[in-house]
Amino acid sequence: MSEERSGAVILVESLARQGVEFVFGYPGGAVLPIYDALFNDARIRHILVRHEAGAAHAAEGYARSTGKPGVVLVTSGPGATNAVTGIADAFMDSIPLVVITGQVPTGLIGSDAFQEADTIGITRHCTKHNYLVKDPAELAGIIDEAFRIATTGRPGPVVIDIPKDVQIASAQWNGAPPQKESRYNPQTRGSDKDIARAIELLANARAPIFYTGGGVINSGPHAADLLRQLQELTGAPVTSTLMGLGAFPADHADWLGMLGMHGTYESNMAMNQADLVVCIGARFDDRVTGRLDAFSPHSTKIHIDIDRSSINKTVTVDLPIIGDCGEVLEQLIAAWGNRKPQNLSDWKARIDGWRTRKSLAYPRDPQAIMPQLAIERLFELTKHLDPVISTEVGQHQMWAAQHFHFFGPNKWLTSGGLGTMGYGLPAAIGAQLGNPDSLVIDIAGDASIQMNIQELGTATQYRLPVKVFILNNEWMGMVRQWQELTYESRYSESYSDSLPDFVRLAEAYGWKGIRIEDESQLDAGIQAMIDHPGPVIVDCLVAKEANCFPMIPSGAAHTDMILYGDSVAGTMDDEAKALV
Amino acid sequence: MMKIKQEQSERHVLTITVDNEAGILAKIAGLFTARGYNIDSLTVADISENHSISRITIVTHGPPAVIDQIHAQLDRLVPVHKVVDLTEMGAHVEREMALVKVAGTGDARVEALRLADVFRAKVVDTTTSSFVFELTGTPDKIDRFVSLMRELGLVEVGRTGVVGMMRGAEAA
């Protein structure tokens, strides 16, 4: 039965039909009709954030930890522009979001009206797709397509900009799914010929390596299982990008750790010496490859990716396979049959040799807690709880990637592509809502945590037992480290001056605050954090000038890693400085 | 001191079939600026009976790897149905139209008219001291005509940019 409904009601009904549980948002003038339609809606729970950037990151954390799309609702103008960082973040890291922005009434668009911004123009290149809705009759179809675009193919954010008059005006609506042929049908299966060739290469390789990324996580938990199966069949060692951590269990004998700029010695050396690199759902990012002309110079390269534009973007590959990681892995496993891999014992022996460098080892400091040690203890004391970990961006993020270990997908939430400080706390809030029974910890730095510190209030309001573990070294540590290594220790503006008292700040927001000042308090402090049923900030004071190693300096090859104990020159040439 | 490096580049003609929706041109033109690609010319017009589909022709130049990226990045946009690299596909026709205004009297005026005849340009407007020529052809041909007119009193040039199509009976 078809009835007249307002745009706002059609929107809310369409969201409910998509199974949306949570909307992360912040009200304002241009979305009042939608907020009125949401009022007391029993199906959709609105989570009121404290800043729209928090809404977008919380939706990302929810999406990344549950595999479901995150939904954001913000007003026009500043509401939309504040959300842009989170939208851009989701675009870079392929996180499915549907972002609904209010817009000034159709007749005022272009008139510099109060709280008007060209949201469609601003988000054009940081969304997978965006819409300006001009007629409420189009809404149901657009929302249906938006969810499809956000969640299939390479996932990403979709913005739907809805002028206020379109929210109020009515259209016929019958509640049935829109009957429209879809124009978005990404290719998900590899061709049989390519699969056969890939199997041929895998079966004949003497020094193969799997280089996996966030695509395996995006493909769903079954893709991680299939990766494990294919690894078992072929015996090839596995390394992963920052975004892919958790797809392969970190306690496996063939796990090499993360690769790239702060990756392990064994993973980077193995990439350099491999004769076959099988890239699954990763994109040869500059943080992974180091100097391009020295990247894995002797290998044949297979690249499995659902996005054709990722193929040959920075590294030319020999065999591209366009498809969904999970589906292609399934095809590969089926095609492998009863084959036997080559004897890889020489290759494994070389890898074991590289492992003996113990590249993640660090010197202990009798006066201070080493940040790496703090992460190690946090891991040891929480691993039996299978926690969800989010991070901010900087040294603490890399130490968490190196020293916290993951055994399954969707447990590790971090801003990889855009590198957004302030991501971790709202992401943890979103993850906690999606995983109410899990221990969710934001591993943070003293600088990053302040970028979205206002979201402490959100966790308080919804009684979310989120934990924030701050490695406090009183520096923007990664900036300081680069200045030490490349600008002769001229620490230009990287000192975290005037830090708040994080314990009292926690208490002011109704959180528990714990300070850890000495190694002897470390385990007890972490345990107290775990045991407290509500939200906790741990202010863990760590060694102030510890560096994050191993490190491949920008512009260097995988074989030019800096390890602890190496002497490091204080400057770099302009070519290297010009790289990000 | 560091210097910015330049790479060898080739010219390619791309045709892009898109949904005729608001902002699509900004999306495509913006993709080129955002990713640092070049646009030498761009034409766009509605080509369907119900005004739902447009065809865009872009002439671009860049190293082969960049051209391949342009193709892939365009393909990734939801409203884009099809991207054809005419240069890559082989035998194709490229045409551009120009309006060329030339002013002068005496010998120059006669010479302009004679050259227009050689180039099969049509006179679409005239005064006693000027012509507007309409000329269709490859971009090269138009370049040559315009450079000849420069000596004979060129006043103004308007060009449409290239449209292109594969030769033969099939749709590309």
Indicate which CATH number applies to the domain containing B83.
3.30.70.260
Residue with tokens 């504040």: A82
The per-residue pLDDT for A226 is 98
Condensed to tens digits (0 to 9), the pLDDT of residues A382-412 reads 999 999 999 999 999 999 999 999 999 999 9
Positions of CATH 3.40.50.1220 in chain A: 192-355
Q: pLDDT band for position A570 (50/70/90)?
A: low
Q: Return the pLDDT at A423.
A: 98
Do residue B135 and residue B78 come from a single domain? no
Asked if residue B84 and residue B20 are part of one domain, the reply reads yes
Cis peptide before A69 (omega within 30 of 0): no
Percent of chain A scored above 90 by pLDDT?
93
Q: Which fold has domain A3-173?
A: Rossmann fold (3.40.50)
Q: Is B1 on the interface with A (CB under 8 A)?
A: yes
* Contacts for A88 with CB less than 8 Å, ≥ 6 apart: A126, A418
Distance, C-alpha A424 to centroid of its chain: 10
The contacts of residue B40 (CB under 8 Å, 6+ apart) are B11, B59, B60, B61
- Is the minimum CB–CB distance between B69 and chain A shorter than 8 Å? yes
Domain containing residue B110: 92-166
A469 is catalytic: no
pLDDT at A567 over 70: no
d(CA A66, CA A97): 12
In a domain? residue B2: no
Contact A309 B69 (CB under 8 A): yes
| For helices A192-204 and A325-336, angle between their N-to-C axes, nearest 10 degrees | 60
Q: What tokens were used for A488?
A: 């002769």
Q: Is the pLDDT of residue A179 over 80?
A: no
Answer yes or no: is B56 within a domain: yes
Are B116 and B145 in a shared domain? yes
- Catalytic entry in A13, A52, A60, A330: A52
- Residue A572 confidence (pLDDT): 67
pLDDT on residue A175? 82
- Residue B4 touches partner A, C-beta closer than 8 Å: no
If you count residue pairs, one on A and one on B, with CB atoms under 8 Å apart, how many are there? 44
Picking from B27, B73, B78, the nearest residue to A149 by CB comes out as B78
Closest residue, chain A, to B80 (C-alpha): A183
Backbone angles phi, psi at A300, to 5 degrees: -85, 140
User: Which candidate from A132, A316, A575 shows the least CB-CB separation from B2?
Assistant: A575
Domain tally, chain B: 2
Residues B14 and B85 in one domain: yes
Is A397 considered catalytic here? no
Identify the closest residue of chain B to A150 by CA–CA distance: B78
Residue A419's SS3 state is coil
Per CB-CB distance under 8 Å, the chain A contacts of B34 are: 125
How many Å lie between the alpha carbon of B171 and the closest alpha carbon of chain A? 20
Residue B19 sits at the chain A interface (C-beta within 8 Å): yes
* Predicted confidence (pLDDT) per residue in A470-516, tens digit: 999 999 999 999 999 989 999 999 999 999 999 999 999 999 999 99
**What does the pLDDT average to over B7-28?**
93
Q: Which of B1, B26, B78 sits opposite A184 (nearest CB)?
A: B78
How confident is the model at residue A568, as a pLDDT? 62
Four-residue CA torsion sign, A106, A111, A114, A115: positive
Topology at the third CATH level for domain A371-541:
Rossmann fold (3.40.50)
- Same domain? B103 vs B127: yes
* Residue B39 maps to a domain: yes
Residues B14 and B83 in one domain: yes
Q: What per-residue confidence (pLDDT) applies to A238? A: 98
Of B65, B89, B113, which residue sits at a domain end?
A: B89
- Cα–Cα distances in Å, from B69 out to A181, A310, A322, B36, B72? 28, 8, 15, 11, 5
**B43 within domain boundaries:** yes
- Report the alpha-carbon distance of residue A356 to residue A338 in Å, rounded: 34
What is the mean pLDDT of the segment spanning A149-168? 98
Q: Which residues of A touch B77 (CB under 8 A)?
A: 129
Q: Is A65 left (phi over 0), alpha (psi -120 to 50) or beta?
A: alpha
8 A C-beta contact, residue A475 and residue A494: yes
CATH number at residue B158: 3.30.70.1150
B41 close to A (CB below 8 A)? no
Residues B72 and B18 in one domain: yes
User: What is the token pair recorded at A487?
Assistant: 């600008």
Which residue intervals of chain A bear CATH 3.40.50.970?
3-173, 371-541
Residue A52 annotated to the active site: yes
Does the active-site annotation cover A164? yes
* Domain boundaries A192-355, corresponding CATH code: 3.40.50.1220
What is the per-residue pLDDT across A204-256, written as a single tens digit (0 to 9) for each?
999 999 999 999 999 999 999 999 999 999 999 999 999 999 999 999 999 99
A309–B65 C-beta distance less than 8 A: no
Which of B53, B70, B89 is at the close of a domain?
B89
Tokens of B76: 């990734």
Backbone φ, ψ for residue B124 (5° rounding): -110, -10
Please tell me the distance from the alpha carbon of residue A73 to that of residue A34, in angstroms, as a whole number.
9
Of the candidate ranges A49-63, A198-212, B4-18, the one whose mean pLDDT is the lowest: B4-18
* DSSP state at residue A558: T
Please write the tens of the pLDDT for every residue from B111-157: 999 999 999 999 999 999 999 999 999 999 999 999 999 999 999 99
Two tokens at A69? Answer: 């799309």
In a domain, B172, yes or no: no
